[in-house]
Structure 1
Amino acid sequence: MPSSPSSAVHPVDERLPLARLAPLALQHVLVMYAGAVAVPLIVGRALNLSPEDVAFLISADLFACGIATLIQSWGIPGVGVRLPVMMGVTFASLGPMLSMATAPEVGILGIFGSVIAAGIFGTLVAPFVSRLLPLFPPVVTGTIILVIGISLMRVGVNWAGGGQPSFPRMVEGVSVQFPNPNYGQLSGLAIAAFVLLTILALLKWTDGFLRNVAVLLGIVAGCLLAAFMGIMHFDKVGAAPWFGLVLPFHFGTPQFHLVPIVTMCVVMIVVMIESLGMFLAIGEITERRLSRDDLTKGLRADGVGTLIGGIFNTFPYTSFSQNVGLVGVTGVRSRWVTVAGGVILVALGLLPKMAALAESVPQVVLGGAGIVMFGMVAATGIRILSSVDFRTNANNLFIVAIAVGFGMIPLVAPTLFKNMPHDLHPLLESGILLAAIVAVLLNVFFNGVQSAEQARAEAASAAAAAEHV
């Protein structure tokens, strides 16, 4: 006897057979893998950690990604939007964390302390963040994401060059910059170009699954070429154990500094506003109407995931837009696919050999992929801005122009604020946060504050546009 419509299982809650579930879950993991391991690689190397510690950061990140995904997709009482969402480290936190990494009094323990504080903050303010949505229309969020992409492009270009152009050394108690002799080597530039061209070829001449994992396949191709040229070595992979636990506070007791905490809490608000848009977009894709309580549970999962990240030696988490786009491409709306993806990520986090393999990837290989990945972040911001009314509201042009200008200050004039109070440097040296503050203030000045319903509709539209980039 057929079930009534009221008793039918919604596609979001449909449990798929294992033979279909496993490959769909693996596809979600592969789509996000390159982006998931990028942040611990960047931060670990900025902190001059040993290869073993960088590999541990990657393991911890994959493990925490899986836990955060399970909390978001499967859900626990009061936490989790229960939609097909994959969680990963947000690139919005990268700029501030790199500033913290270069501040001697902050370091890695200060970063973890600020992440833990931001996680607690996010969990507590989740019910109120949806009310902040009117302050973050597409002209603001698009500008912030554009500046994030532009700021990160410096990292990708330096990767292609083989690292930083120079590195500090202490000489008689004074930090002196020494040029990097390996920077800009033609062999490294050739490998980066090969990776970039491989990705472009896959994007042009493939579709479906292969197109979705073009960045990952480009990295694999670059690794094969680098190994053939004797640049990539696997000694540490062979020495790494097959199984290893990810333990809390591996690097020591977190430290809590006021300005880094405030900075990361501001990042958390931006991340949660972006998440709101993603939740609304995937709600449209899956045809599940989300209540304010559902949105609060989803935002609370961002906070809990970030708290777990800080405890397990990693960083803030948010929903990955490329996986939201994959749901739209495949048409598979079951949240149990991403639950299975979370289980796979937890398993990968317990395999140190996988982390050692990711850590052994040469920077020049990551450079070719980084130009694509970080450029796509900027392109996402541009795509969101394309939905903004610039023709009849010229003030939006000034909002974008001035906010981007402030966002560029740390890139083009890093010593501009050298005479400001030292405790403010982590904030002033983050172009992303400067752009966010300026964009919000200018939008309120020029456009005022729109209604909550209008903000909700615009956020869903902007997120839907971004996911297709």
Structure 2
Amino acid sequence: MASNAIGTPEQLRDPNYTPALHRAIPLGIQHVLAMFVSNVTPAIIVAGAAGFGFGSNSPDFPELLYLIQMSMLFAGVATLLQTITLGPVGAALPIVQGTSFAFIPIMIPLVAGKGVDGLAALFGGVIIGGLFHAVLGLFIGKIRFALPPLVTGLVVTMIGLALVKVGIQYAAGGVPAIGTPEYGSLLNWSAALVVIFVTLGLKFFTSGMLSISAVLIGLIVGYFYALGVGILDWAAVTGSWERSAAFALPQPFKYGFEFSAAAVIGFCLMAFISAIETVGDVSGITKGGAGREATEKEIEGATYADGFGTALAGVFGGFPNTSFSQNVGLIAMTGVMSRHVVTCGAIFLIVCGLIPKVGGVIRTVPIEVLGGGVIVMFGMVVAAGISMLSDVNWNRRNMVIFAISLSIGLGLQLEPAAVAGLPDTARILMTSGLLPAAFLAIILNLILPEELTEESTEEVSGGLHGHGKGALAADDGR
């Protein structure tokens, strides 16, 4: 669709411009397609970690359905806070909110094997962490110095590395299936590979809506493949549809509220990372869509919406929300900066969240098919982290900071029994991997001297030189 059919160049750069409805609605749904799978996947992962049964006859079926429903509903609500705004809350920019992957390594240890009983503490942490996140909006600009690319790149990379194991397990047949003859079978892997190959084909050999929706279309093709080869029983699809209500409202404190020190500390610490990611996304939107820097008011409003959107979601059983980076790229590609376009997408998400039958259909996606999709998505998270790390000057100082933080963080994640002697709260925080890695990187980056010795400024691998605390490279003539 040519941009000049939508509006003039000046109008397209204006967040307050409203395209004609017949153009705004498809553009808004395009934003939803770009983030839909990523938005509902955390709910399925957390449900699996909690031990929920995935079958339509499982007693946990309504709970899984509800978590998926809330992911859609409150992604839409949080997006409306960004686009329509509520007082100082919201950036008045086309920011799409969705369930954050960053918090999954924190959430999994909180609910592991506990079923519904683990959700009260988790959502208690979501609510308090969301309010803390909103408070960050008061001074977000003042703490950015503590989170240079060395730190944020490390954390984003760690998020992806923490999740790739889940993708492989899902592709092999799902964590609950370990020990059964089907786990790791070629049939299971064939479904995952169909999704991966279709996604790659669409992403690199098509353009427009097909390319943007590559993961979603890949999952749909994988879904029908699973039906064809018998991985998915059609009776399970019809059973899920029949057991799902046509309309349902969210229930406040459905799972109760429990104060857990591990949950609260974990969510509050991760809020720092999420806030910085949002700052980056806001800057990307204004640069890519309007060719200007983001204002302080926009950054503060976006952070407020992040936090209050998360806290509100936690009240009703939703997960932490954050701005979605894939939609930032979509704005740069389409050149349409209108926040009202994204508002149309938010309304579509809210409608889906109020119709449990939509969640019922999503729930029938076989775990093997979902595994193919999340392998792609989680791999992209790692790639995004590595891309951020490319802005780091790899001198000896920064290499040591990265090496120690990654070794301890990833090591504790891979071998949680190493800290079995710690109290429960400390053990959960340490074995997340993310928090010890981020803490070490931040502290070391702040305390290690910028004035390096002559030996420390020698060239290291690749001929790179160092210039400071994870800052961007100075112009040295290269």
Normalised by the length of structure 1, the TM-score is 0.88
In the TM superposition, 1:217-366 aligns within 5 A as 217-232=217-232, 233-234=236-237, 235-251=239-255, 253-285=256-288, 286-366=290-370
Q: CA deviation at 1:198?
A: 1.3
Alpha-carbon distance change, 378 to 195 in structure 1, aligned in 2, over 3 angstroms: same
Match of 2:75 among 65, 73, 86: 65
| SS at 2:175 equivalent | coil
In the TM superposition, 1:21-36 aligns within 5 A as 21-36=24-39
1:256 corresponds to which letter in structure 2?
F
Match of 1:16 in 2: 19
| SS at 1:83 equivalent | coil
Q: 2:46 touches 2:108 (CA, 8 Å); kept in 1?
A: yes
| SS at 1:127 equivalent | coil
- For residues 369 and 182 of structure 2, the distance between their equivalents in structure 1, rounded to whole angstroms, comes to 14
Match of 2:210 in 1: 210
Alpha-carbon distance change, 59 to 421 in structure 1, aligned in 2, over 3 angstroms: same
For structure 2, the 5+ residue unaligned runs are 1-9, 53-59, 452-467, 473-478
Match of 2:47 among 44, 52, 55: 44
Match of 2:199 in 1: 199
- For residues 8 and 212 of structure 1, the distance between their equivalents in structure 2, rounded to whole angstroms, comes to 24
Matched, 1:383 2:394: no
- For residues 308 and 437 of structure 1, the distance between their equivalents in structure 2, rounded to whole angstroms, comes to 28
Match of 1:101 among 85, 91, 111: 111
Match of 1:374 in 2: 378
If asked which structure has higher relative contact order (CA below 8 Å, sep 6+), I would say: 1
For structure 1, the 5+ residue unaligned runs are 1-6, 168-178, 459-469
Match of 2:145 in 1: 134
- For residues 292 and 317 of structure 2, the distance between their equivalents in structure 1, rounded to whole angstroms, comes to 35
Matched, 1:55 2:65: yes
Q: CA deviation at 1:8?
A: 8.4
| SS at 2:15 equivalent | helix
- For residues 155 and 92 of structure 2, the distance between their equivalents in structure 1, rounded to whole angstroms, comes to 27
Q: CA deviation at 1:293?
A: 2.8
Alpha-carbon distance change, 9 to 378 in structure 1, aligned in 2, over 3 angstroms: closer
- For residues 450 and 309 of structure 2, the distance between their equivalents in structure 1, rounded to whole angstroms, comes to 33
Q: CA deviation at 1:394?
A: 3.0
1:332-387 deviation digits (Å, cap 9, x = unpaired): 11111111111111011011111011111111001111110000000000111112
Q: 1:428 touches 1:434 (CA, 8 Å); kept in 2?
A: yes
- For residues 32 and 263 of structure 2, the distance between their equivalents in structure 1, rounded to whole angstroms, comes to 31
- For residues 161 and 88 of structure 1, the distance between their equivalents in structure 2, rounded to whole angstroms, comes to 27
Normalised by the length of structure 2, the TM-score is 0.86
Q: CA deviation at 1:421?
A: 1.9
Q: 1:409 touches 1:416 (CA, 8 Å); kept in 2?
A: no
1:389-432 deviation digits (Å, cap 9, x = unpaired): 22xx3322222222221221234212110111222111011011
Q: CA deviation at 1:288?
A: 4.7
Match of 1:3 in 2: none
Q: CA deviation at 1:190?
A: 1.2
Q: Percent identity?
A: 34
Q: CA deviation at 1:202?
A: 1.4
- For residues 313 and 165 of structure 1, the distance between their equivalents in structure 2, rounded to whole angstroms, comes to 23
Alpha-carbon distance change, 228 to 8 in structure 1, aligned in 2, over 3 angstroms: closer
Alpha-carbon distance change, 417 to 30 in structure 1, aligned in 2, over 3 angstroms: same
Match of 2:417 among 415, 418, 422: 415
1:348 corresponds to which letter in structure 2?
C
Matched, 1:86 2:96: yes
2:162 corresponds to which letter in structure 1?
S
Q: CA deviation at 1:124?
A: 2.2
- For residues 409 and 101 of structure 2, the distance between their equivalents in structure 1, rounded to whole angstroms, comes to 15
| Count of residue pairs the alignment pairs up | 433
| SS at 1:318 equivalent | strand
- For residues 414 and 289 of structure 1, the distance between their equivalents in structure 2, rounded to whole angstroms, comes to 43
- For residues 104 and 48 of structure 1, the distance between their equivalents in structure 2, rounded to whole angstroms, comes to 7
Q: 1:130 touches 1:276 (CA, 8 Å); kept in 2?
A: no
Alpha-carbon distance change, 243 to 368 in structure 1, aligned in 2, over 3 angstroms: same
Q: CA deviation at 1:165?
A: 6.6
- For residues 399 and 166 of structure 1, the distance between their equivalents in structure 2, rounded to whole angstroms, comes to 39
Q: 1:122 touches 1:302 (CA, 8 Å); kept in 2?
A: yes
Q: CA deviation at 1:274?
A: 1.2
Q: 2:48 touches 2:175 (CA, 8 Å); kept in 1?
A: no
